[in-house]
């Protein structure tokens, strides 16, 4: 096999596959993956927004889709809950292993070369200009693997939160323990305990301190039940998973399989490009600090990185992701800090307020009248939360949400 490529992508993750697909439009791409089968073992809930999969031309075939999502149920420490749902599904739960395989097939159709069971070891950057003098820009990069060396002009690191590619160039870093969540998830039968179009999030410091527990339907018959807590807790998440089943025994059943992993809930790296090496997905901390979802952020960052490579302008990638992803990721981190500051009583008050919000929505009131009703339903809590939002720099975002059409805080 030819050892020279225009781009080498390290990691057949969602982000890596999208980067390979976009970069292949302008050159020869090699994608290396340490696993024998990309997408296995499964370490994702598979939740993704329908709108963005469609926009990125990555909407899968039906066999990759476990089910559609149209709402969320938030459950407070007291057990009270509020359901927020839309008339039509706006999200889906994928079978991650099938979807990765499907996406890999699309990438292969673009002419990308795949090498599985291949471990990235190191890279060596060569800099030179036409007269032999050293340049500040990379002219070629040699990638060392357990199956030989490969040369490329560009390298994309899609190798996870503790990115070896990022470490080699000095811009990747492991998040601080409080910004690195450890998750565990069990695959169990639904047993008709949950609406297959509504996912559940469980709040409370006794159940999931500085994190949350979840239950995502995988179609009508199965659930993905899990919990994530910061590494800084120094406690294995299984301890809290056991607590969850004690409090909600209806979810406990035969465990079909289990999985776990690390989830970066840190702010994104300040720079995701250096010496023609671009970091995408979890490697650049492009994962929601608020809810830990990473599929959309990863895929979009991969697409943007591949686009910058196809333009032969890698520095443009830093501009693109900051413009399209940076704002929402920064707001998600601030919202995470707000949640960290909330007590169990705050969580229960939030559930009560959300229930009032759904009631008011059904009355089709104008914005001013609706806001007044919500405020006076619990002014002390609303004022307390407003102070928290001010403390963590979300006041401007709240104002923009009101006056700018289409602006999303999260």
CATH of residue 58: 3.50.50.60
* CATH code of residue 198: 3.30.9.10
Residue 173 confidence (pLDDT): 79
Residue 75 confidence (pLDDT): 96
Report yes or no on 182 lying in a domain: yes
Report yes or no on 232 lying in a domain: yes
Report yes or no on 78 lying in a domain: no
Residue 134 confidence (pLDDT): 45
**4-10 vs 148-157, strand pairing mode:** parallel
159 and 44 in a common domain = yes
Owner of token pair 């809810």:
291
pLDDT in tens, 193-221: 999 999 999 999 999 999 999 999 998 99
Counting the structural domains of the chain, the total is 3
155 and 52 in a common domain = yes
Residue 132 has pLDDT above 60, yes or no: no
Q: CA angle, corner 194, sides to 188 and 199, nearest 5? A: 90
253 and 150 in a common domain = no
Average pLDDT, the chain: 89
Task: From 219, 220, 214, select the one nearest 251 (Cα to Cα).
Answer: 214
- Higher-pLDDT residue of 404 and 115 is 115
Residue 135 confidence (pLDDT): 45
Residue 146 confidence (pLDDT): 96
197 and 260 in a common domain = yes
Q: Which of 223, 247, 264 is the last residue of a domain?
A: 264
- Higher-pLDDT residue of 363 and 408 is 363
Residue 409 confidence (pLDDT): 63
Owner of token pair 């004690």:
246
Residue 94 confidence (pLDDT): 93
Share of the chain above pLDDT 70, in %: 91
Report yes or no on 71 lying in a domain: no
In this structure, are residues 297 and 158 in contact, taking their beta carbons and an 8 Å threshold? no
pLDDT in tens, 157-199: 999 988 999 999 999 778 889 999 999 999 999 988 999 999 9
Residue 398 has pLDDT above 80, yes or no: no
190 and 167 in a common domain = no
Residue 214 confidence (pLDDT): 94
239 and 105 in a common domain = no
- Integer Cα distance of 186 and 189 in angstroms: 10
- Integer Cα distance of 253 and 265 in angstroms: 30
pLDDT, average across residues 265-276: 93
Report yes or no on 88 lying in a domain: no
pLDDT in tens, 29-81: 999 999 998 887 777 888 899 998 999 899 999 999 999 999 999 999 999 99
Band of the pLDDT at 3, cuts 50, 70, 90?
Answer: confident
Report yes or no on 84 lying in a domain: no
- Higher-pLDDT residue of 53 and 365 is 53
Q: Which of 248, 264, 280 is the last residue of a domain?
A: 264
126 and 39 in a common domain = yes
Residue 133 confidence (pLDDT): 45
- Integer Cα distance of 87 and 348 in angstroms: 26
Range of the domain at 213: 177-264
Owner of token pair 């500051």:
341
CA dihedral in degrees (387, 392, 396, 401; nearest 10)? Answer: -80
99 and 168 in a common domain = yes
Q: Which of 242, 264, 286 is the last residue of a domain?
A: 264
Band of the pLDDT at 128, cuts 50, 70, 90?
Answer: low
pLDDT, average across residues 304-321: 96
Band of the pLDDT at 404, cuts 50, 70, 90?
Answer: low
Contacts 24+ apart (CB under 8 A), 77-82: 77/203, 77/204, 77/205, 77/206, 77/207, 77/344, 77/347, 77/348, 78/348, 78/351, 80/348, 80/351, 80/352, 80/355, 81/200, 81/351, 82/351, 82/352, 82/354, 82/355, 82/357, 82/358
Owner of token pair 């020869």:
28
- Integer Cα distance of 317 and 284 in angstroms: 12
Band of the pLDDT at 111, cuts 50, 70, 90?
Answer: very high
Residue 131 has pLDDT above 80, yes or no: no
379 and 286 in a common domain = no
244 and 135 in a common domain = no
Report yes or no on 104 lying in a domain: yes
155 and 302 in a common domain = yes
The least confident of 135-144, 201-210, 215-224, 352-361 is 135-144
Residue 1 has pLDDT above 80, yes or no: no
Report yes or no on 74 lying in a domain: no
42 and 114 in a common domain = yes
């Amino acid at each position: 096999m030819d050892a020279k490529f225009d781009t080498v992508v390290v990691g057949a993750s969602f982000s890596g596959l999208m980067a390979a697909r976009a970069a292949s439009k302008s050159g020869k791409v090699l994608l290396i993956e340490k696993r024998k089968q990309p997408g296995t073992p499964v370490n994702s809930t598979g939740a993704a927004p329908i709108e963005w999969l469609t926009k990125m031309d990555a909407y899968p075939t039906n066999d990759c889709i476990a089910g559609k999502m149209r709402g969320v149920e938030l459950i407070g420490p007291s057990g009270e809950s509020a359901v927020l749902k839309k008339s039509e599904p706006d999200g889906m739960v994928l079978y991650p292993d099938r979807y990765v395989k499907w996406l890999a097939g699309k990438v292969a159709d673009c002419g990308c070369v795949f090498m599985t069971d291949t471990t990235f070891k190191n890279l060596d950057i060569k800099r030179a200009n036409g007269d032999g003098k050293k340049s500040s820009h990379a002219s070629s990069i040699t990638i060392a693997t357990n199956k030989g060396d490969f040369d490329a002009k560009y390298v994309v690191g899609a190798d996870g939160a503790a990115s070896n590619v990022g470490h080699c160039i000095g811009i990747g870093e492991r998040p601080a323990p409080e910004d690195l969540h450890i998750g565990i998830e069990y695959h169990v039968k639904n047993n008709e305990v949950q609406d297959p179009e509504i996912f559940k999030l469980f709040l409370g410091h006794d159940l999931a301190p500085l994190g949350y527990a979840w239950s995502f339907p995988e179609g009508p018959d199965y659930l993905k039940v899990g919990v994530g807590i910061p590494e800084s807790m120094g406690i294995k998440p299984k301890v809290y998973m056991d607590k969850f089943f004690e409090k909600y025994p209806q979810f406990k059943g035969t465990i079909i399989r289990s999985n776990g992993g690390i989830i970066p809930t840190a702010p994104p790296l300040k720079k995701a490009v250096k010496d023609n090496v671009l970091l995408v997905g979890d490697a650049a901390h492009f994962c929601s600090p608020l809810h830990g979802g990473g599929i959309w952020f990863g895929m979009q960052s991969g697409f943007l990185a591949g686009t910058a490579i196809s333009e032969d302008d890698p520095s443009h990638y830093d501009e693109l992701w900051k413009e399209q992803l940076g704002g929402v990721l920064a707001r998600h981190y601030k919202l995470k800090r707000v949640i960290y500051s909330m007590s169990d009583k705050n969580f229960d008050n939030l559930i009560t307020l959300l229930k009032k919000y759904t009631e008011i929505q059904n009355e089709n009131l104008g914005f001013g009248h609706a806001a007044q009703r919500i405020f006076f339903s619990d002014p002390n809590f609303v004022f307390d939360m407003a102070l928290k939002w001010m403390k963590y720099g979300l006041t401007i975002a709240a104002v923009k949400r009101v006056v700018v059409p289409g602006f999303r805080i999260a």
